Amino acid sequence: MAAGCTQSAERPASDFREADGRAAAQRWVSEEFTPSTLSRDQQLAEMEWFIKAAAPYRGMQINVVSETITTHEYESRQLAKAFTEITGIRIKHDLIQEGDVVEKLQTQIQGDQNIYDAYVNDSDLIGTHSRGDYVIPLSDYMAGEGKNVTSPTLDLDDFIGISFTTGPDKKIYQLPDQQFANLYWFRYDWFTDPEIKKQFRDAYGYDLGVPVNWAAYEDIADFFTNKVNGNGTIDGTKVYGHMDYGRKDPSLGWRFTDAWLSMAGNGDAGSPNGLPVDEWGIRVENCRPVGSSVTRGGDVNGPASVYALTKYVDWLKKYAPKEAAGMNFSESGPVPAQGHIAQQVFWYTSFTADMTKPGLPVVNSDGTPKWRIAPSPHGAYWKEGNKLGYQDAGAWTLLRNTPQDRRAAAWLYAQFVTSKTVSLKKSIAGLTFIRDSDIRSDYFAENSADYGGLIEFYGSPAREQWTPTGTNVPDYPRLAQLWWQNVATAVTGETTAQQSMDNLAKQQDDILSRLERRGGDCAPKLNPERDAQFWYDQPGAPAPKLADERGKPATLDYDELIAQWKAGN
């Protein structure tokens, strides 16, 4: 109580008046927060609740942080200002690189000092957060300490990623703020060109279309890079059938932990992350990770994972522009917009906003895209029910070592930037949907043609096969950094794909072993090592090497695919 009184006494006096907040709310609702899934009266009623709930915290400056993407730029530039004018709580919303967000988070946890009052960090950390005692589970907070500052219109059931932020104990640990998927991207105008279609069928014996599997993707990559119009050119410009990146950089790790192995077919079927072996190749029994290596029942260095790495390296070297091998995530992202890439197997929808700007080579004169997005093709080891792709879900997280009043004020801001009053406009600005009601809004129904299939994807059940890293990963920051270091040596040829994955599996198990010694609920408990054949003989993952890792190529007509999505299939 003494600490609380001290904090209140130190708070700067505020000359904010509720009448000013109401006037600001009316102005923002009229001029900025439109369209909305709420009526104007509903928006103003929601803002009235924020005005009243903020009363004890007026005059405070709250510090929050997120990574630098278009959605968070909108929050920092517009929504922080709106929140301050409407509530009287000042917000400093910092934008830094994703890796720096995690570093600040770890520093605050380990140093027991309050650097930021709330963090937007990836839900990939759910397995880490739920095993620690430094995060306040939002389920507990909303029912207890934060009950009076939890909006009655929050509507958790409307958040499409709430399952991603739920721990093994069924508690919600984070509130989704933005969400995007990696999908297959392709030049629809080229794929539907009659002459190009004829050339492809003559060369490969089947129709050019959305590749269902990696065999077809590989054929299409070869066709555009080497064979279209006899020399790999369209309208006199050299084109490429694949785009990727390969620089030794932390972002190279995301390229793999963001579900590349599951797309190849490693791990087990089961939503959302494969049971008992997930898309990282970690086996879990009764919530406890028991091993990454095949000899412990994991699948990090199994045939499916080695196949995944092999294909990545082969395609990068054979079918992508030469400079791609020296690029990182940020540098490679804008390349397809330059107009010389035919398809990309692993494309983040966070780039959608930047791919729809007028005047780009990939945008028609009427503003509609020349490209489309579709489900990513799967590899030879993939089985029905396996995870098919990744969704990134940046989510608000509250730490225990944040002072109680600062935590409450930050929680109000987190709810404000995800509220129904502002979420549709934020979705239009950043195209990183968090609410089902926004996806199904009249605005996106009327303008879906502008987004190349993105709205149809998010409105279909297909999106449920795209999930973030799950609860099997007990220490995301420490384990994730192993990936880019081991993948990089395969890109440079210092190690074979098998050696790289063997090294990764061993290093992951070493960290799991150290976490096991630390103990705790759902802590790792490594299986004893056994002959790999023992595990190959068991049902499910890890699977033995296939005699045919190519299979029969298959494609699907894009318009038929969209019809299936619209029908709910």
Q: What is the DSSP string of 145-159?
A: TTGGGS-TT--GGGB
The pair of three-digit structure tokens given for residue 176, joined into one six-digit string: 């989704």
pLDDT of residue 7: 39
Query: Taking the mean position of all CA atoms in its chain, how far away is CA 146?
Result: 28
| Nearest alpha carbon to residue 372 among 363, 359, 361, 382 | 363
pLDDT of residue 394: 96
The pair of three-digit structure tokens given for residue 511, joined into one six-digit string: 């960290």
Q: How many helices (H) and strands (E) does the chain have?
A: 24, 13
Flag whether pLDDT at 305 surpasses 50.
yes
Flag whether pLDDT at 474 surpasses 90.
yes
Judge whether 149 and 136 are in contact, CB under 8 Å.
Answer: no
Ranges of H-type helices in 112-187: 126-129, 138-143
Side chain identity, residue 265: G
| Nearest alpha carbon to residue 466 among 192, 69, 161 | 161
Q: How many residues does the chain have?
A: 569
pLDDT of residue 313: 98
Flag whether pLDDT at 524 surpasses 90.
yes
Flag whether pLDDT at 3 surpasses 50.
no
Q: State how far the Cα of 161 lies from the Cα of 385, in Å rounded to an integer.
A: 19
The pair of three-digit structure tokens given for residue 105, joined into one six-digit string: 């988070």
pLDDT in tens, 58-91: 999 999 999 998 999 999 999 999 999 999 999 9
* Segment holding 121, helix H or strand E: strand 118-122
Neighbours of 335 (CB within 10 A): 21
Flag whether pLDDT at 362 surpasses 50.
yes
- At 61 the three-state DSSP class reads strand
Judge whether 33 and 43 are in contact, CB under 8 Å.
Answer: yes
Mean pLDDT over residues 440-462, rounded? 92
Q: State how far the Cα of 221 lies from the Cα of 376, in Å rounded to an integer.
A: 14
Flag whether pLDDT at 193 surpasses 90.
yes
The rounded mean pLDDT for the chain is 94
Flag whether pLDDT at 1 surpasses 50.
no
pLDDT of residue 291: 98
Mean pLDDT over residues 2-24, rounded? 67
pLDDT in tens, 138-153: 999 999 999 999 999 9
Flag whether pLDDT at 569 surpasses 70.
no
How does DSSP assign 254-321, residue by residue? HHHHTTHHHHHT-S---TTT-SSB-TTS-EEETTEEEESSGGGT--TTSHHHHHHHHHHHHHHHHHS-
Question: If pLDDT is split at 50, 70 and 90, which confidence band does 11 have?
Answer: low
Neighbours of 106 (CB within 10 A): 14
Neighbours of 225 (CB within 10 A): 20
Instruction: Give me the residue label for tokens 């990559």.
Output: 221
- At 174 the three-state DSSP class reads coil
Question: If pLDDT is split at 50, 70 and 90, which confidence band does 2 have?
Answer: very low
| Nearest alpha carbon to residue 348 among 440, 446, 412, 260 | 260
Question: If pLDDT is split at 50, 70 and 90, which confidence band does 13 have?
Answer: low
Judge whether 123 and 164 are in contact, CB under 8 Å.
Answer: yes
Contacts of 43 (CB under 8 A, 6+ apart): 29, 33, 36, 420, 421
Question: If pLDDT is split at 50, 70 and 90, which confidence band does 12 have?
Answer: low
Range with lowest mean pLDDT among 24-38, 78-92, 373-387:
373-387
Contacts of 435 (CB under 8 A, 6+ apart): 37, 158, 159, 160, 418, 420, 423, 424, 427
Flag whether pLDDT at 565 surpasses 80.
no
Mean pLDDT over residues 317-344, rounded? 96
pLDDT in tens, 280-290: 999 999 999 99
Judge whether 417 and 147 are in contact, CB under 8 Å.
Answer: no
| Nearest alpha carbon to residue 447 among 419, 365, 438, 190 | 438
Q: State how far the Cα of 468 lies from the Cα of 503, in Å rounded to an integer.
A: 24
Instruction: Give me the residue label for tokens 């998927």.
Output: 181
Flag whether pLDDT at 436 surpasses 90.
yes
pLDDT of residue 454: 93
Side chain identity, residue 133: D
Flag whether pLDDT at 353 surpasses 90.
no
In degrees and rounded to multiples of 5, residue 43 shows phi and psi of -60, -45
pLDDT in tens, 223-271: 999 999 999 999 999 999 999 999 999 999 999 999 999 999 999 998 8
- For the entire predicted model, the pTM comes to 0.91
Mean pLDDT over residues 483-503, rounded? 97
Instruction: Give me the residue label for tokens 């384990």.
Output: 479
How does DSSP assign 377-402, residue by residue? PB-TT--TTS--B-EEEEEEE-BTTS
Flag whether pLDDT at 433 surpasses 60.
yes
CA dist 419 → 64, 122, 438 (Å)? 17, 19, 11
Mean pLDDT over residues 389-417, rounded? 97
- At 476 the three-state DSSP class reads helix
CA dist 172 → 164, 214, 390 (Å)? 9, 36, 20
Mean pLDDT over residues 414-443, rounded? 97
Mean pLDDT over residues 539-558, rounded? 97
Cα–Cα–Cα angle for 200, 349, 292, rounded to 5 degrees:
90
Residues facing 407 on adjacent strands = none
